[in-house]
Amino acid sequence: MQTDVERLYDKLKEEKKAFRKLAKRDIAVDMTRGRPSAEQLKIALPMLENAASLNFAAEGGDARNYGDLAGLKSARELFAEIFEVKPEEVIVGDGSSLEMMYFLIDCAMQFGVLGGKPWNSLQSVKFICPAPGYDRHFTICEAFGISMITVPMREDGPDMDLIEQLVSNDASIKGIWCVPKYSNPTGITYSDGTVVRMGSLRPAAKDFRVFWDNSYAVHSLYEDEKLKNIFEVAQKAGNANMVYGFTSTSKITFAGSGVAALAASEANIKDILKKLGVRKINPNKVNQLMHVAFLKDIQNIREIMKQHAAILRPKFELFETKMSAAFDDDERVKWSKPKGGYFISLDVPGIAKRTVALAAEAGVKFTAAGATFPYKMDDRDGNIRIAPSVPTLEEMDYAVDVLISAIKIATLEKDIAAIEQQ
């Protein structure tokens, strides 16, 4: 009669055989970043085709010339619709909202926030980092030597009990990173209660800021999930200056040449423009004019995003179907079921690094295990970010098969090791 470990070794042998058979197909699939596919990028091509007919003097000046540091009036109005704020509370810049975030951290370090002390003159500067979260947020903190405090994500957003306790008792905590809608990578949308508590924080630091990275504001896969307006909440709570909001068209038009926007109180906007004016004279207003002419208004943007959803949705659904068939009864394998955004969060405690390494052997690349945590330290070795947007459906089908096989191999190896160590 076979022992338990012998049965596991037989299963492992069979799974490795199946894995090698898959790998022989020699297909390369890159799922390391959440980028629009070529099919999605084609949706915005009419914007370029209509560029020659633009009225560059439509707003009284000439969009091809200097001026308008805060962006074109029409562009500010368009993004004000997305943020649900006044146009005067918006700055529209060039392609990357990440660059805006970096700029604000840089300014805070060098010059302070609204007359506060420069952060680099302080003994300690800390940020709260809900995790799993967006790796590039954490990279900014690392670049500036800002200490990161990991706070767990829940089904309704980050752990607000812990956040409230931390910020109210430690004046060295200067900010928090948030991706409030279709979060990267979990795909959750913050509940109304979470938004109310976030906007009503009573931080010990007067220059504390909520970095509200609403990158996926209009990126629904099904019916749109409503995100409560944090700017209204903060205003009512006496925290009008506490929130910086960010968004962009990077996953609406062209990822490499879109338009980004920042929303904040008028006092913040005035302070930011004063610092920004030293660095530049104006953003790319021609690009802004092109975007306004193509996007038109929030309702038209939603219609455009339905085209994106039609391309993305089958990939998310394929992942769900195949993973459910393979692991529906396995409590050790969990994954998020997002209704929008660009990512799926996969949890395989204890085997994430091994799973990612195995998949890479078969040509399927994922973001490095641990990248969704500050300092890349996932103590559970559990989280893998899945980015389904770039592969074709055929490539996605292969990638998920490889992932399933890699999880099974890594799980069997872990189970065998546990028995042999007893």
Bridge-based pairing state of the strands 344-347 and 334-335: antiparallel
What are the distances in angstroms from CA 199 to CA 78, 101, 203?
24, 19, 11
Query: Tokens 């004279």 label which residue?
Result: 281
Bridge-based pairing state of the strands 29-31 and 383-386: unpaired
Distance CA 210, CA 201 (A): 10
Q: What is the CATH number of domain 4-31+301-420?
A: 3.90.1150.10
Nearest Cα to Cα of residue 327 among 351, 346, 350? 346
What are the distances in angstroms from CA 84 to CA 61, 130, 211, 251?
27, 24, 16, 20
What phi, psi does 175 have (nearest 5°)? -170, 175
- Give the pLDDT score at 355: 98
52-296: which CATH number, 3.40.640.10, 3.40.50.300, 3.20.20.150, 3.40.50.2000?
3.40.640.10
- Give the pLDDT score at 1: 65
Q: Which two tokens stand for residue 64?
A: 């091809």
Nearest Cα to Cα of residue 158 among 127, 136, 126? 127
Distance CA 314, CA 336 (A): 16
Distance CA 190, CA 154 (A): 9
Give me Rg for the CA atoms of the chain: 23
What is the full per-residue pLDDT of the chain (422 aa) written as tens digits? Answer: 678 899 999 999 999 999 999 999 999 999 999 999 999 999 999 999 988 889 999 888 899 999 999 999 999 999 999 999 999 999 999 989 999 999 999 999 999 999 999 999 999 999 999 999 999 999 999 999 999 999 999 999 999 999 999 999 999 999 999 999 999 999 999 999 999 999 999 999 999 999 999 999 999 999 999 999 999 999 999 999 999 999 999 999 999 999 999 999 999 999 999 999 999 999 999 999 999 999 999 999 999 999 999 999 999 999 999 999 999 889 999 999 999 999 999 999 999 999 999 999 999 999 999 999 999 999 999 999 999 999 999 999 999 999 999 999 999 999 999 999 87
Nearest Cα to Cα of residue 323 among 361, 355, 367? 355
Distance CA 325, CA 166 (A): 42
What are the distances in angstroms from CA 369 to CA 103, 118, 192?
28, 35, 31
Specify the pTM: 0.96
What are the distances in angstroms from CA 45 to CA 39, 98, 299, 345?
11, 24, 19, 31
Task: Give ranges for CATH 3.40.640.10 in the chain.
Answer: 52-296
Nearest Cα to Cα of residue 264 among 95, 61, 97? 97
- Residue 26: alpha-carbon gap to chain centroid: 31
Task: Give ranges for CATH 3.90.1150.10 in the chain.
Answer: 4-31+301-420
Q: How many CB atoms lie within 10 A of CB 88?
A: 12
